């Protein structure tokens, strides 16, 4: 596939091109144009013109109708989106077909629906005598922030792109999006769908390229950008934040995680093992919500580790790492774990398939034990199919271990004790805590992290609150 920019309603491929490689076998599957500063400038200018023009003048009803047309367009091109997502990421086809693409269409429909549920408050206020007396009416209106830069990652390319684009457009903003240079295909298809849906030229713009000293930096440092919404690594988020500070640009960040699971002795052990297999190894661990630290109450520790290791060794239908570079990073942590004294219960290396996949970027699903909480392997985000399992003896110790991390995105708690569940979950330092489950999402609820895992919340009204600003209007009656 040949990726293209989409600027001011026009598809183009200006700039030098670089190859798009398949993580499955390392072969070339397409080309991607590298947007220069001039292309980014044009995209921001086109977005500003649409904000001052047709899209800025669109009513909430018009915007909602446009979002529904986009959702319908994704549905019509469903198989194309699945093919593109699988080609870019190498993830299992059923994962793309049951999660990524349906959620992308659902994001547009959800925010179209939310536009009809907006409610603001109004107050009758006494006017002081020194100002003439009588009454005044205070009410609130919301206006868009302006031109929003959306930077999305490679692990869930379409889902996380639309998770930001849909509410930004719903709130009346215009968008300049830059997907990861490693997964540009579904973003290009989305631009096609938006073009077919008839949104005004410049309402949505797409530029491709790399991040540092390239399209990503050109976009986030642009003085014409009114807000930045970013999902990715914490270090990249910190760099963007320093850039945004120059213009006091609002930011919404969903960043890294080193997510814990707490398994108590009274848990349904079958469910806890099943849930940990899912939370550690889905998409080969390349999801921000995946579990990398597992703490198990000592009476069931040995049984849990044995069963989890057996399940990890039995896994067959899993995808590759996104790139050779990321594979090498994950393998470096496998080596580090051994150097730090870990016991490798399962995995720890590179699988051999005996087919074209041996040219791809695969690593084995891996279960480790035996490291202290101070070990780098336990503290640093790996973002691969790996978890470290450690025992605990008391509830307080479990919480101390879980919270002893610079990250705080997500956590899971496994227990049959209802009182314990309600007692422990609020004390875990994370933006979302699942009890006896994992990755159960209601799009109306707040999503985001604490500490190094992010700033702000996304989802439902929380996204609309970020992508718009309230204006108080006071009318002296």
* Exposure class string for 163-175: b at 16+ Cβ within 10 A, else e: bbbbbbbbbbbbb
- Residue 214 has φ and ψ, to the nearest 5°, of -150, -155
What DSSP string runs through 155-195? Answer: SSHHHHHHHHHHHHHHTT-EEEEE--TT--HHHHHHHHHHH
Say how many CA atoms lie within 13 Å of 398 toward its Cβ.
30
- Residue 268 has φ and ψ, to the nearest 5°, of -70, 105
Nearest Cα residue to 32 out of 181, 151, 176, 186: 181
- Residue 351 has φ and ψ, to the nearest 5°, of -75, 155
Catalytic pick from 288, 297, 381, 429?
288
| Spatial separation of the C-alpha atoms in residues 157 and 168, rounded to whole Å | 17
Do residues 134 and 468 touch, judged by C-beta distance below 8 A? no
| Spatial separation of the C-alpha atoms in residues 150 and 160, rounded to whole Å | 10
Terminal Cα-to-Cα distance of the chain (whole angstroms): 62
**Torsion angle in degrees (nearest 10) through CA of 412, 418, 419, 420:** -30
Do residues 326 and 312 touch, judged by C-beta distance below 8 A? no
| Spatial separation of the C-alpha atoms in residues 290 and 279, rounded to whole Å | 5
- Judged by phi (left if over 0) then psi (alpha if -120 to 50, else beta), residue 209 lies in left
Nearest Cα residue to 81 out of 53, 116, 105, 50: 105
- Catalytic annotation on 254? yes
* 3 state DSSP class of 442: coil
Do residues 160 and 152 touch, judged by C-beta distance below 8 A? yes
Nearest Cα residue to 260 out of 380, 409, 368: 409
Catalytic pick from 4, 181, 221, 254?
254
- Catalytic annotation on 288? yes
Do residues 362 and 350 touch, judged by C-beta distance below 8 A? yes
Sheet holding 386-392, edge to edge: 343-346, 366-369, 386-392, 291-297, 259-263, 410-414, 432-435
List residues with catalytic annotation. 254, 288
């Amino acid at each position: 596939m040949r990726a293209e920019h989409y600027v001011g309603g026009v598809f183009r491929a200006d700039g030098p091109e670089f190859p798009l490689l398949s993580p499955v076998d390392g072969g070339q599957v397409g080309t991607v144009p590298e947007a220069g500063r001039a292309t980014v400038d044009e995209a921001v200018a086109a977005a500003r013109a649409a904000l001052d023009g047709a899209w800025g003048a669109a009513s909430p009803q018009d915007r909602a109708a446009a979002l529904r047309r986009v959702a319908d367009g994704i549905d019509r091109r469903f198989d194309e989106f699945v093919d593109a997502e699988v080609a870019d990421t190498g993830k299992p086809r059923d994962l793309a077909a049951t999660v990524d693409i349906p959620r992308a269409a659902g994001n547009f429909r959800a925010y179209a629906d939310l536009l009809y549920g907006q409610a603001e408050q109004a107050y009758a206020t006494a006017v002081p005598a020194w100002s003439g007396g009588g009454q005044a009416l205070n009410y609130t209106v919301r206006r868009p922030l302006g031109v929003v830069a959306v930077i999305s990652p490679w692990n869930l390319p379409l889902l996380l792109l639309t998770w930001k684009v849909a509410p930004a457009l719903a709130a009346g903003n215009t968008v300049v999006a830059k997907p990861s240079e490693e997964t540009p295909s579904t973003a290009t298809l989305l631009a096609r769908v938006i073009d077919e849906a008839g949104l005004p030229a410049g309402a949505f713009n797409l530029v491709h390229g790399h991040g540092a000293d390239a399209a990503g930096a050109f976009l986030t440092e642009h003085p014409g950008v009114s807000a930045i919404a970013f999902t990715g690594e914490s270090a990249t988020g910190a760099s963007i934040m320093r850039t945004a500070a120059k213009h006091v640009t609002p930011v919404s960040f969903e960043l890294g995680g080193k997510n814990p699971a707490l398994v108590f002795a009274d848990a349904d052990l079958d469910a806890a093992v099943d849930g940990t297999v899912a939370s550690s190894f889905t998409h080969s661990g390349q999801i921000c919500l995946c579990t990398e630290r597992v703490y198990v109450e000592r009476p069931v520790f040995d049984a849990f580790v044995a069963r989890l290791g057996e399940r990890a060794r039995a896994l067959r239908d899993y995808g590759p790492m996104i790139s050779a570079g990321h594979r090498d990073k994950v393998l470096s942590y496998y080596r580090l774990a051994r150097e730090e004294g870990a016991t490798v219960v399962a995995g720890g290396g590179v699988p051999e398939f005996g087919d074209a996949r041996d040219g791809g970027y695969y690593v084995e699903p891996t279960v480790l034990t035996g490291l202290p909480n101070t070990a780098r392997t336990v503290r640093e985000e790996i973002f691969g199919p790996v978890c470290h399992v450690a025992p605990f003896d008391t509830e307080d110790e479990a919480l101390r271990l879980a919270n002893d991390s610079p990250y705080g995105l997500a956590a899971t708690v496994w227990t049959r004790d209802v009182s314990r569940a309600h007692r422990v979950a609020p004390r875990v330092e994370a933006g979302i805590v699942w009890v006896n489950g994992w990755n159960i999402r209601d799009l109306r609820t707040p999503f985001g992290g604490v500490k190094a895992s992010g700033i702000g919340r996304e989802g439902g009204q929380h996204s609309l609150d970020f992508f718009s600003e309230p204006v108080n209007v006071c009318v002296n009656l």
